[in-house]
Amino acid sequence: MTQVLTNFVRALRASNVRVSTAESIDAAATVDVIGFSDRGLLKESLSQVLAKSPDDKERFAECFDRYFFADDLRGIDTADGDDLEPDAPSADASNSEPQHAGEQGTEPGSALASLMTGANRAELQIAVANAAREAGVADIRLFTQRGMYMRRILEILGVEALENEISNADEARQALLGALRAQLIAEVREQVERQLLLYTANTWPDLREEILQKVPLSAVEVRDFKFMQGLVHKLAKRLVALHSRKRKVARRGHLDVRQTIRRNIEYDGLMFDTVWKRKKIDRPKVIAVCDVSGSVANAARFLLLFLYSVTEVIPKVRAFAFSNQLAEITDLFQASSAQDAISAALHKHGWGSTDYGRALADLEKMVLDDVDHRTTVLILGDGRSNYGDPGVTHLRKIHERARRVLWLNPEPRAFWNSGDSEMRRLGSACDRVDSCRSIQDLERLVSEIMRTAV
Amino acid sequence: MNPSSSSEISRAAIDAIQAGLAATGYICGDSIATAVYLAQALEKPVLIEGPPGVGKTELAKATADHLGKPLIRLQCYEGLDEAKALYEWKYGKQLLYTQVLKEKLGDLMEGASGLQASMDRLHEFDDTFFNEEFLEPRPLLKALWTEQGAVLLIDEIDKSDQEFEAFLLELLQDYQISIPEIGTVKAKHSPVVFLTSNNTREIGDALKRRCIHLYIPFPDSRLEQQIIESRVPELEASVRLQIVSFVQQLRTVDLKKVPAVSETIDWARTLLLLHAQELDPQLVRTTMNILLKFQDDIENIDAEIVGMTRAAVGAR
């Protein structure tokens, strides 16, 4: 029973439900109380003990159905040795089968053959399930292991004896046994497939997520867009959790003795009105500018998505987009959902040819009054100005006033300053220039910005 | 232990809980009754999540009624701390007692020569002012002190700070709390604990791990009809069916705030008051402000009222 439960917990973890050791102990206690025979009740109560969010509950339900189909409840009770189900005797007989199969195998008419000719599919299934358990099929991780586990299960079932019997038998029996063997193999394959599905349900998305985090933004393929958006959103959410907490901490503090004494003079120095030391909260202002021209179009989608997420984290963000003309998209971001806002921004301002000179001049005109020592200016772009004036003088003016200017470039460093890229000149007017090629880079950089900005 | 008989026993117990809750006017499905049963069997707190207005708080009240135990409620809010949740020293009383006992103290000190001797004398009495006499119990401590066990409701845990959530861990795990001056206070009888959350922020994993997690969704049509029947029994069955069908439709529309069960009940009461025999668009329109609490929602839904009403009246 414990084995069944621990395997189930493992299957749950494989399908991305986080289950701690303490919770699996709870699950065991729950099973003690509830028992195995009422399936609906078992599912409901285990779901309450093991799955702790609506998402988890959904995954739990799926996994439960798959697992307890694969591992028939009847089989579990027999493994316990005390079963009240009507067909317990037959199950018990098959239970002991695998152990004896090997010994009896030398005689003609092996146990396996008789089990198969018995033509009771349920019995055969139970025997296969038990052999699978013995073979440790729960450890399966990769689809390439399928063959190995199938072989192992077949061996435990005593397929060797069956083979001998087939080669020794007369023709008619040979044909019959051959057909039965094919049926058996199909049964075993099905069993292994089910287990593989159960224990590896989630390894593929995990792997995909891991790879996509490192893929350059410009190289993301269209079919992965949706998945990437999920990733970016996840990242932004994590940052929100991290930094909203910081703002709260700032409200606490120690007693400010000097202030307290001063304020309580009017009460004859009795400490009536306490004053607490406060950490000064720096209200950061972020001005984010995103290049959405044709050359960075692919990356721009994610940069915009990220920008959108950032507006949710930091209250005062002004967002701009440009290809040759600069336009403020803050209102657009506030009014509509991420999806709509991004496609609207790309549609309205995107796909043109870049003119950094014009865009930065516009930026100076539009925001210079708003830039002060608390402002972080964040520019996302490739710095390719089609051999036009890159507008360094405008950027420098902003740089002089701003707390800092950061430039994130979606191109790798080796490509900078080649062709029409003006990164060296533009970089001279920035506090920091960094290559931001993948989601991973983005997370690292933004986390750094937040740490110092918030 | 016999597995199938234990299943039968727990099934019977769960059915009994369901019936017991129904007797107090709280109609619920299997999952809720199972959670209440498990909470008692495993002695674990239940974390209840779900959209607002599905009866999370109500469940705690009904359970208290059903078990015949007192309900102790702690409403969480930002800035809630131990002094308000757990205990506070009765400073005033302590002060008063010291004043009154001042002279006594003089008597006690009489004859003690030297500082050391006086200190030794004082040490004999030092715990006098820090014992349970001077402790003002707040909800959590009250729940532990209750003789026959209590139902403790920690409402809207998501509104409290993370620090408070961490502070709750000791209580929820072992049903005990540490008071530095006294020591550990252990529950005389494990209380049944319910925590509710509207998910305005993610509850920490540590807390979730210690709880049974119950998610209460909006009830399906059948269950909601039973709820209305128990709460507004005077209402005719046909109108009840129409009301529930209408509200169920309303929940599928994108709204700022979808109507909850409590609003359905309010609406049913309203229609009863107006002696409505059947839903018609005009009636729905005039009473819409009971179901929807945002003007935007009411305006957005206006065009669809006729169609929805027709579908609701036609529902069987």
- Measured in angstroms, the CA of B182 and the nearest CA of chain A are apart by 26
Tell which of A137, A165, A200 closes a domain: A200
Chain A residues whose CB is inside 8 A of the B164 CB are none
| Residue ranges for chain B with pLDDT beneath 70 | 1-4, 125-127, 315-316
Q: What is the pLDDT of residue A78?
A: 39
- Identify from B1, B158, B215 which residue to disrupt to test chain A contact, counting A C-beta atoms within 10 A and taking the largest count: B215
Chain A residues whose CB is inside 8 A of the B215 CB are 54, 57
Contact indicator for A157, A112 with CB cutoff of 8 Å: yes
Q: What is the pLDDT of residue B211?
A: 92
Query: Is A349 domain-assigned?
Result: yes
Tell which of A200, A233, A249 closes a domain: A200
Residue A296 and residue A171 in one domain: no
Alpha-carbon span B230 to B237, nearest angstrom: 12
Query: Is A215 domain-assigned?
Result: no
Q: What is the pLDDT of residue B39?
A: 92
Residues in CB range of A122: below 8 A, 6 or more apart: A87
Q: Which amino acid is at A293?
A: S
Does A52 contact B213 at a Cβ distance shorter than 8 Å? Answer: yes
Element (H, E) at A45: helix A39-50
Secondary structure of B126-156 as H, E, C letters:
HHHHCCHHHEEECHHHHHHHCCCCCEEEEEC
In the block, tokens 């005062």 appear at A316
- Measured in angstroms, the CA of B34 and the nearest CA of chain A are apart by 6
Chain A residues whose CB is inside 8 A of the B214 CB are 48
A/B interface, count of CB pairs below 8 Å = 87
Does A35 contact B5 at a Cβ distance shorter than 8 Å? Answer: yes
Q: What is the pLDDT of residue A76?
A: 44
Does A35 contact B161 at a Cβ distance shorter than 8 Å? Answer: no
Residue B207 and residue B245 in one domain: no
Residue B205 and residue B227 in one domain: no
Residue B179 and residue B252 in one domain: no
Other CB atoms within 10 Å distance of the CB of residue B233? 9
C-alpha angle B109/B111/B113, rounded to 5°? Answer: 90
Other CB atoms within 10 Å distance of the CB of residue B207? 20
- Measured in angstroms, the CA of A35 and the nearest CA of chain B are apart by 5
Residue A26 and residue A134 in one domain: yes
Residue B166 and residue B201 in one domain: yes
Residue A179 main-chain phi, psi, to 5 deg = -65, -40
Residue B100: domain span: 88-134
Contact indicator for A445, A436 with CB cutoff of 8 Å: yes
Residue B147 and residue B230 in one domain: no
- Measured in angstroms, the CA of B273 and the nearest CA of chain A are apart by 38
- Measured in angstroms, the CA of A18 and the nearest CA of chain B are apart by 10
Residue B112 and residue B208 in one domain: no
How do residues B68-105 score in pLDDT, each as one tens digit?
A: 999 999 999 887 887 888 888 888 888 888 788 877 77
| Secondary structure (3-state) at A186 | helix
Residue A146: domain span: 2-200
Chain B residues whose CB is inside 8 A of the A234 CB are none
The minimal CB distance from A77 to the residues B3, B35, B209 is found for: B3
Domain count, chain A: 2
Query: Is B16 domain-assigned?
Result: no
Residue B200 and residue B57 in one domain: yes
Q: What is the pLDDT of residue B18?
A: 92
How do residues B186-224 score in pLDDT, each as one tens digit?
A: 888 889 999 999 877 778 888 988 999 999 989 989 999
Residues in CB range of A345: below 8 A, 6 or more apart: A292, A304, A321, A329, A332
Does A32 contact B162 at a Cβ distance shorter than 8 Å? Answer: no
* Per-residue confidence in pLDDT tens, chain A, 454 aa: 677 888 888 888 888 788 889 899 999 999 888 888 888 888 999 999 999 888 888 889 888 888 876 554 444 443 443 333 333 333 333 443 444 433 333 344 566 777 766 656 667 777 787 888 888 877 777 777 888 888 888 888 888 888 888 888 788 888 888 888 888 888 888 888 877 777 776 666 666 677 767 766 666 666 666 677 777 777 766 666 665 555 555 455 677 788 888 888 887 777 777 777 766 555 567 888 888 887 777 777 777 777 777 776 666 778 888 887 888 888 887 777 777 777 788 888 777 777 888 888 888 888 888 888 778 888 888 888 788 888 888 888 888 888 888 888 888 888 888 888 888 888 888 888 888 877 777 777 777 766 654 4
Domain count, chain B: 3
- The pair of structure tokens assigned to B252 is 């599928």
Does B42 contact A26 at a Cβ distance shorter than 8 Å? Answer: yes
Query: Is B6 domain-assigned?
Result: no
Residue A179 and residue A296 in one domain: no
Q: What is the pLDDT of residue A242?
A: 63
Query: Is B23 domain-assigned?
Result: no
Query: Is B169 domain-assigned?
Result: yes
Does B34 contact A49 at a Cβ distance shorter than 8 Å? Answer: no
CATH number of the domain encompassing residue A398: 3.40.50.410
Residue B80 and residue B106 in one domain: no
Query: Which residue of B lies nearest to A52 if distances are taken between CA atoms?
Result: B213
Residue B302 and residue B262 in one domain: yes
The minimal CB distance from B2 to the residues A18, A23, A82 is found for: A82
Does B213 contact A48 at a Cβ distance shorter than 8 Å? Answer: yes
Q: Residue A279 carries which DSSP code?
A: P
| Secondary structure (3-state) at A244 | helix
